[in-house]
């Protein structure tokens, strides 16, 4: 079994590393101290994404993307995840559900989104609906040849930056008919109710949207009436894979910084890494990262070789669960190794420690991931996780 990364994959990794270190890292402190970046800076960063060839890495070349394999996407996300303030989000990944659009939808929404000319956000969560999608109350009712959408959505990541919204609503109010609608943000009846503040600093916002008698035509139904949950599941899988890779990158940067500091910092006449309490923390961090990297790369390899969709769904939950909790443990240790300096916002490890906390919550909490893994254990047995996946054919 050859575990060597091909030259093409290494090239994508190098490209992402250069982008992160030359475009993203220089913006970290300004974003943290001011809470936002100027419009001109964000526009320049968007142009840099195109210049570095990172626009739409998760979609095919035929629709304007880069046609990256899953492994290449994970390598890119790992490098971008080293940036604080979620600056990795400036590199857009148009929702995977868009590839199921009609030719007109692909032309109007997906292709310009891949090119950076448009940006989507996904609206699923509601005040009473988080982990349980059947509690969604946003509804879309027929009115002649139109759909009328009413409801409220929370935590719509990048909703301030996006110009259209992929809205999860129940057709006719029926929870058995979840449907995705493409809604331009400028459509009458769409408004942002408020933009709450969160623990982390984030380059974009997570506004709450209200939809009041928002009308769209049948041409804005994505993937068919009643198909919303299946398409949302695919989006969750994609998001969980990206989160796992981002967490891996954040943990690696935290370890590198802590390892360097432990070597340079002298107390009681010697480097603090010479004290076993520090050395053991660094060792635990390294082992956890090695384990997470093995999981992330393995699942990417499986996807690129056409492993069954249900297996991918189960494994995506496993790596999202492990990588997000691993990153929390690693960044916490990094803060401890830096001592008081690790509690200063000017220190990347402090920012990383706050940044990764949300990764145990969004796109499915750690508890939901355990439910998914546990359910798969009941239905398919331990071999799904303890064995080695058989490839198709």
Q: Are residues 95 and 169 in the same domain?
A: no
Q: Are residues 147 and 219 in the same domain?
A: yes
Q: Are residues 199 and 266 in the same domain?
A: no
CA distance 46 to 87: 11
Q: Are residues 381 and 268 in the same domain?
A: yes
Q: Are residues 334 and 237 in the same domain?
A: yes
Range of the domain at 363: 229-386
Domain-terminating residue out of 225, 258, 283: 225
Q: Which residues of 30-63 are buried (b: 16+ CB within 10 A; e: fewer)?
A: ebbeeeebeeebbeebbebbeebebbbbbbeeeb
Residues 62, 212, 363, 367: which is the catalytic one? 363
pTM: 0.95
| Domain of residue 72, CATH code | 1.10.540.10
| Domain of residue 330, CATH code | 1.20.140.10
Domain-terminating residue out of 210, 225, 240: 225
Domain annotation covers residue 392: no
Q: Are residues 191 and 310 in the same domain?
A: no
pLDDT in single tens digits along all 393 residues of the chain: 788 999 999 999 999 999 999 999 999 999 999 999 999 999 999 999 999 999 999 999 999 999 999 999 999 999 999 999 999 999 999 999 999 999 999 999 999 999 999 999 999 999 999 899 899 999 999 999 999 999 999 999 999 999 999 999 999 999 999 999 999 999 999 999 999 999 999 999 999 999 999 999 999 999 999 999 999 888 899 999 999 999 999 999 999 999 999 999 999 999 999 999 999 999 999 999 999 999 999 999 999 999 998 899 999 999 999 999 999 999 999 999 999 999 999 999 999 999 999 999 999 999 999 999 999 999 999 999 999 876 776
CA distances from 18 to 63, 245, 247, 264, 323 (A): 26, 17, 19, 26, 24
Domain-terminating residue out of 179, 207, 225: 225
DSSP H helical ranges for the chain:
7-19, 28-34, 39-51, 70-80, 103-105, 111-115, 228-264, 276-304, 309-338, 348-355, 366-380, 383-386
Domain annotation covers residue 393: no
Q: Are residues 249 and 207 in the same domain?
A: no
363 is catalytic: yes
> What total of structural domains would you count in the chain?
3
């Amino acid at each position: 079994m050859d575990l060597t990364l091909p030259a093409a994959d290494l090239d994508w990794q190098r490209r992402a590393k250069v982008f992160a270190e030359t475009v993203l890292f220089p913006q970290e402190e300004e974003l943290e101290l001011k809470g936002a970046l100027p419009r001109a800076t964000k526009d320049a960063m968007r142009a840099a994404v195109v210049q570095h060839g990172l626009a739409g890495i998760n979609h095919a070349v035929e629709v304007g993307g880069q046609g990256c394999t899953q492994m290449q996407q994970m390598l890119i996300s790992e490098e971008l995840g080293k940036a604080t303030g979620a600056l990795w989000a400036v590199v857009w990944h148009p929702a995977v559900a868009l590839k199921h659009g009609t030719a007109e939808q692909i032309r109007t929404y997906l292709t310009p989104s891949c090119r950076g000319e448009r940006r989507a956000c996904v609206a699923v969560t509601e005040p009473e609906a988080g982990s349980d999608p059947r509690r969604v109350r946003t509804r879309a009712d027929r009115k002649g040849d139109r759909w009328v959408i009413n409801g409220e959505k929370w935590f719509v990541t990048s909703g301030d930056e996006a110009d259209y919204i992929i809205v999860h609503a129940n057709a006719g109010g029926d929870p058995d008919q979840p449907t995705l609608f493409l809604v331009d943000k400028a459509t009458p009846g769409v408004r942002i109710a408020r933009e709450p503040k969160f623990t982390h600093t984030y380059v974009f916002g997570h506004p709450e949207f209200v939809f009041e008698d928002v009308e769209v035509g049948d041409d804005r139904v994505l993937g068919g009436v009643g198909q919303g949950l299946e398409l949302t599941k695919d989006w969750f899988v994609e998001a969980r894979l990206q989160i796992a890779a981002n967490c891996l990158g954040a943990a690696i940067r935290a370890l590198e910084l802590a390892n360097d500091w432990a070597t340079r910092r002298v107390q009681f006449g010697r480097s603090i890494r010479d004290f076993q309490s520090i050395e053991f923390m660094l060792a635990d961090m390294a082992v956890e990262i090695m384990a997470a990297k093995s999981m992330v790369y393995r699942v990417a390899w499986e996807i690129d070789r056409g492993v069954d969709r249900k297996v991918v769904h189960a494994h995506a939950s496993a790596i999202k669960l492990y990588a997000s909790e691993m990153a929390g443990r690693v960044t916490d240790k990094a803060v401890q190794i830096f001592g008081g300096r690790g509690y200063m916002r000017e220190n990347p490890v402090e920012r990383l420690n706050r940044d990764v906390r949300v990764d145990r919550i969004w796109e499915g909490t750690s508890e939901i991931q355990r439910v998914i893994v546990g359910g798969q254990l009941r239905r398919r047995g331990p071999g799904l996780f303890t064995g080695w996946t058989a490839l198709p054919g």
